[in-house]
Amino acid sequence: MRLLLVPLLLSSVAALIPRDLLFSDPKYSATSLSNDGRFIAFIGPDESGIRNVFTKCVNCRHTRQVTFEKTNHVQGYQWTAIPDIILYMYDNDGDENTMIFKKNISQAAPKDDLVVVSNRPGVKGLIIANNREDRKVLVGMNDASPAYHNIYEFDLYTNQLTLKVRNNRFPMFVIDNDLRIRLASQQMDDGSMMYYRLTSEGEKLDPITTDEAYWQDYLRVAPDDKPLSMPIGFDKSNEIMFWIWGEGSDLGNLVQFHFEKPEEKEVLYTATKAQIGQIITHPSEKNLLAVTEVYHRPELYVANETAMEDFQYLVNLRPHGSLQLLSLSKDMNTWLVTYLSAEKPFEVFVYRRWLKTAEFLFNTHPQLEGFKLNKQVGFDFPARDNLQLQAYLSLPPDAKLKNTTDVAAPDQVYAEMGMLPVRAQKLVVMVHGGPKARDVYGFSPINAWLTSRGYAVLQVNFRGSVGFGKRLTNAGDGEWGRKMHYDLLDAVEFAVAKGIADRDQVAIMGGSYGGYATLVGLTFTPEVFACGVDIVGPSNLQGLLEAIPPYWLPMYNEITKMLGADMDTEAGRQSLRARSPLYFAEKVKKPLIILHGANDPRVKQQESDQIVAALQKHSIPVTYVLYPDEGHGFTKQHNRKAQYGFIEKFLHGCMGGQYESFMPGQYNSTAILKADGFATETLIPSTSAPVKDVKSKTAPALFYRPVRIPTNRGIYNPVPTRMEQQMAQPAQPQPMAYPNYVHPASHMQPGGFGAAAPIPVKYTFLG
């Protein structure tokens, strides 16, 4: 039987994977279990292609649509303490003013049984705390001041909103298991983060105000420790607090202390290879089960001996994938898990703990079954100043590789890793956004698409990225257009020196900060790159600062620290100008395509308009595509398909990769071609293999490291550092449960101009 499958798999190697299959919405995303473990909820496209929420019976597999949006795509949802009640969210065409709705999902409820929690024009709603135990949840709205979120209590039974915190000061609050406000934080002028607790008089207020008289100093996080140090939550008693603490450690420690004695920290876990990437806790008992560290791939460290057998079984189930927990039932008897692999989409399993068995549920992208996808290799290389950097390389699936006997001894390790092709490849340097984010291992439709077209993909975690320690993150401050760019150049030089890349066929591409990096590459170092793809990237750093969303204003000092200058002094303005591609547009010598969403609240449309105008002033060809119904990234699948159609045609024109034909107007996209550089480019004749529509039909490390944590104590997982996936393509099933504390600004990634939801998060939240 296995021999019969071989011709089918081999026949798909030379075929292009159709864009329509790669960039359709995943059938399953944002997957999570109900409290009792009987149902799975997920976001998927309905019959009209609109993303809605569905539920699936774990045992009977019956699937039912439970939200019925006709034009707005659901971006997230949460289960609540009431089994038939969920909360779900969406915005208006990418404006990020999130609206929140309550929905009765029982079969007896009418489709239009919908309660508005927050939908005021111009107001961004946030679900701040939902412990899935109480009839009430906490929501935030910047309805009084656009810079700060007031906190309201929403009663799931009566639908009543009650003001709990009148806020004109704090971007972050820490909330305990019983939904009580315990701490708030504020950035100080020296760059540190100060945490405050309520005074005895402040605790009596209802609603609480943020006036200074009612708050007192609690704990200070030093400026250099901010990339690591963050509160996690409380134990079951709400007396013991858990933090990831950065003082004295580059990678961070998981610590605990009594709430009344924050100076007496006890280390529970010390990261050794990379920052903690996932914290897994018991949903009701709050005791720690396991953590992961993510360097090249996630490594799992089990902290609870009673759970060791469960994790060992699940790791052995797919030894060549990296285990990721998506959700747990309240009693922890039912688990939802997936496995990270670059070579296949995400397979989701249900694990029944009492039976010690796991059952396959679904593949998130069944339409890609039968296609051979790329491999992805993580590796290290030195920057010019000897800073060690991490990167990922993806090669075309049919690229022939060198053996260790074909290369000199210093390069044999790279040959063993499978990253040295026989012939130098056309290379796309894919630059992540944020920039305080990181690239990660795993399936990516974008990588699958590029490698299918014959391009190798290089993803660099340059200085300023997160996940590899505070020194690397802090090293990016002030280095936009400088050392952060040099890191990309050094990665290209490494790839050329190792025979991975053809020096004359290297493109640069990215979204948000990655779009800025593209513009920097084509203006500051125009000789390095054959062409560039800028997606929602800023061209003028001062303009970027002037137009930041109002709810980022409390983090203004953090953003200027990251940029290395502000706009309040002449020296600061000159520094920003010197690193703004807008003022060097005449230096562009290679083809450039720019794509932008008109409703982008982070990087305004003007950022693309103005550099296109500057290029045209110098008679430099440029292609400019504007989406009137998108924001910071393109989330509607018809627009996303067109986005990659434009880019594919562009890359084919400048580097000659394989090409699936594309015409503006295809996919019923709303794209407006405002400038057509294609008309002035000489397109290389297509040499693409025919598109074939195939219908659906190194083991990770596991460690047992005991962690000193008392029985019945545990943690909530930290608030997400929003790890954007490139260009807002939803690529993996994501849990949507939230911890019991909130950083409103962090949901927008302050100082991070990353892609809009839906986006994978750094941490997995369980239960």
What does the domain layout of the chain look like in residue ranges?
2-369+699-748
Structure confidence at residue 757 (pLDDT): 27
Higher confidence at residue 170 or residue 287? 170
Structure confidence at residue 743 (pLDDT): 30
Q: Report whether pLDDT(363) > 60.
A: yes
For residue 102, report the phi and psi dihedrals to the nearest 5 degrees. Answer: -105, 135
Query: Residue 105: CB partners within 8 Å, gap ≥ 6?
Result: 53, 55, 66, 67, 84, 85, 86
Contact 437, 724 (CB under 8 A): yes
Q: What is the pLDDT of residues 616-665, one digit of tens each?
A: 999 999 999 999 999 999 999 999 999 999 999 999 999 999 999 999 88
Amino acid at 44: G
118 catalytic residue (yes or no): no
**Of the candidates 126, 45, 130, the residue with the CA atom closest to the CA atom of residue 89:** 126
Q: Burial-class residue 611 by CB neighbours within 10 Å (0-12, 13-18, 19+).
A: buried
Q: What is the pLDDT of residues 236-286, one digit of tens each?
A: 999 999 999 999 999 999 999 999 999 999 999 999 999 998 888 899 888
d(CA 683, CA 472): 41
Contact 755, 51 (CB under 8 A): no
**Which of 150-164, 534-548, 620-634, 716-730 bottoms out in mean pLDDT, i.e. has the lowest?**
716-730
Structure confidence at residue 679 (pLDDT): 61
Higher confidence at residue 620 or residue 9? 620
Mutual orientation of helices 445-452 and 637-655 as an angle, nearest 10°? Answer: 30
Among 95, 235, 477, 600, the active-site one is 600
- Kindly state the tokens that stand for 274: 């990379």
The mean pLDDT of 51-61, rounded to a whole number, is: 94
Among 73, 282, 632, 747, the active-site one is 632
Structure confidence at residue 11 (pLDDT): 37
Rounded to two decimals, the pTM is 0.89
d(CA 488, CA 429): 8
Average pLDDT for the chain = 87
Q: For residue 649, what is the DSSP state?
A: H
d(CA 494, CA 488): 10
Q: What is the pLDDT of residues 334-347, one digit of tens each?
A: 999 999 999 999 99
What is the CATH code for 2-369+699-748? 2.130.10.120
Q: Where are the beta strands (DSSP E) in 353-404?
A: 357-363, 376-382, 388-394
d(CA 281, CA 289): 5
The mean pLDDT of 411-423, rounded to a whole number, is: 93
600 catalytic residue (yes or no): yes
Query: If pLDDT is split at 50, 70 and 90, which confidence band does 470 have?
Result: very high
The string of DSSP codes covering 110-136 is -TT-EEEEE--TT--EEEEE--SSSSE
- Kindly state the tokens that stand for 30: 């944002």
The string of DSSP codes covering 462-525 is -TT-SSS-HHHHHTTTT-TTTHHHHHHHHHHHHHHHTTSEEEEEEEEEEETHHHHHHHHHHHHS
Q: Report whether pLDDT(171) > 80.
A: yes
Distances (CA, A) of 163 to 115, 207, 611: 18, 6, 45
H or E stretch at 592: strand 592-597
- Is the backbone peptide bond immediately before 382 cis, with ω within 30 degrees of 0? no
For residue 436, report the phi and psi dihedrals to the nearest 5 degrees. Answer: -80, 70
Structure confidence at residue 677 (pLDDT): 85
Structure confidence at residue 680 (pLDDT): 47
Q: Report whether pLDDT(461) > 60.
A: yes
d(CA 688, CA 742): 49
What is the bridge-based pairing of β-strands 501-511 and 531-535?
parallel
Structure confidence at residue 61 (pLDDT): 84
Q: Report whether pLDDT(592) > 60.
A: yes
Neighbours of 603 (CB within 10 A): 28
Structure confidence at residue 278 (pLDDT): 84
3-class SS at 54? strand
Q: What is the pLDDT of residues 274-298, one digit of tens each?
A: 999 888 889 988 888 999 999 999 9
178 catalytic residue (yes or no): no
Q: Where are the beta strands (DSSP E) in 523-590?
A: 531-535
Q: What is the pLDDT of residues 291-335, one digit of tens each?
A: 999 999 999 999 888 899 999 999 999 998 999 999 999 999 999
- Is the backbone peptide bond immediately before 207 cis, with ω within 30 degrees of 0? yes
Structure confidence at residue 752 (pLDDT): 42
Q: Report whether pLDDT(200) > 50.
A: yes
Length of the chain: 767
Neighbours of 64 (CB within 10 A): 12
The mean pLDDT of 537-548, rounded to a whole number, is: 96
Contact 30, 326 (CB under 8 A): no
Q: Burial-class residue 399 by CB neighbours within 10 Å (0-12, 13-18, 19+).
A: buried
Among 29, 185, 465, 512, the active-site one is 512
Amino acid at 742: V
What is the bridge-based pairing of β-strands 298-302 and 702-704?
parallel
- Kindly state the tokens that stand for 543: 């303009």
H or E stretch at 719: none
